[in-house]
Amino acid sequence: MFGGRLLAALVAGALTLTIAACGAPGTAPTPGATEAALDAWLHQERADEGDRRARVRVVNDAGTELALRGIRVESPLLADPIERDAPPLPAGESIDLTVELPPVACDQAAAAGTIVLVLDDGEEALPLRDPLGFLGRLHDRECLAERVQKALSLAWSDFSPGVAGEPGSLRLVGGVADGVRVRSVQSTPLLQFGDGVLAYDLPTGALDVRVPLVPQRCDPHVVQEDKRGTIFALDVEVDGVPGAIELAADAATKARILTWVADWCGFGG
């Protein structure tokens, strides 16, 4: 059993809906000029990555309200369609619909998909566009993780906090099958492995190693707003093909690490 939460793990939460002007600051770029009165595409913002969510942007450049009732995204790279409700869209406006991503389909290669606008009087099918290319990368990453999951078991455990100013450590344990190599652990937005050490090389074969940790940042808001500070990327190689998986500390270990960082940095309670 894969001992940590991989990126593929679904995070429960209510779907959100954000109305935004097309091209507003902080939104995904418009994927090229279009003459169509209706447009739609799939994109993922950085804040959505950890929650395994994405957004469907729908644009209504027609002169009348779009009687929108919902959307459906179909892609061979996904095991199931994405479906959700949507409100009517006034003329000249756009909307971002937040969606949860289903599991990827690892027996499928990249192919064309469809975004279907469900309307009061029927459906409008548009080619699936992903201008940032995140869906293909998600497919490759999670399918690699699936292969690795079948070949090894890894887990973080036994966090040991260091005294003030000294490194802490986190134990990485697991077995590795033939054809698989776990090469290194990468730093997180919150943690590194020594002053300026952003990658930690691992031994070959079965793993049972203590990985040293020190805070990478001491901004209080970084700890308070942490989402990915205890999710570590591991560089792996499967049958000679390099890739990366993510291995997270469990909730109890994460809480201990965040408390230690706050104390180490001098702003703990």
158 φψ region: left (φ > 0), alpha (ψ -120 to 50), beta (else): left
- The share of the chain scoring above pLDDT 70, in percent, equals 84
Spatial separation of the C-alpha atoms in residues 179 and 238, rounded to whole Å: 6
Q: 216 with 194: CB under 8 angstroms? A: no
Per-domain boundaries in the chain: 17-132, 140-265
Q: CA nearest 119: which of 68, 72, 84?
A: 68
Q: Check: CB of residue 42 under 8 Å from CB of residue 129.
A: yes
For 17-132, the fitting CATH number among 3.40.309.10, 2.60.40.10, 2.60.200.20, 3.30.1360.200 is 2.60.40.10
Which of 189 and 17 is assigned the larger pLDDT?
189
Whether 5 has a pLDDT exceeding 50, the answer reads no
159 neighbors 257 (Cβ within 8 angstroms)? yes
pLDDT at 146 over 90: no
Mean of pLDDT over the chain: 82
At residue 49, the 3 state secondary structure works out as helix
Distance CA 70, CA 228 (A): 32
Roughly how many angstroms between the first and final C-alpha of the chain, as a whole number?
Answer: 37
The pTM score is 0.55
Task: Give pLDDT, residue 35.
Answer: 42
- Residue 204: the pLDDT is 78
92 burial (CB, 10 Å; 0-12 / 13-18 / 19+) is middle
Q: How far apart are CA 83 and CA 72, in angstroms?
A: 4
User: Strand locations in the chain, DSSP E?
Assistant: 17-19, 38-43, 53-60, 68-74, 82-85, 93-100, 114-119, 122-127, 152-160, 168-176, 180-186, 191-192, 199-201, 207-215, 231-238, 241-248
Does residue 29 register a pLDDT over 60? Answer: no
Q: Do domains 17-132 and 140-265 have the same CATH topology?
A: yes
163-175 tens-digit pLDDT: 767 899 999 998 7
At the topology level, CATH places domain 140-265 in: Immunoglobulin-like (2.60.40)
* Distance in angstroms (rounded) separating the CA atoms of residues 53 and 49: 6
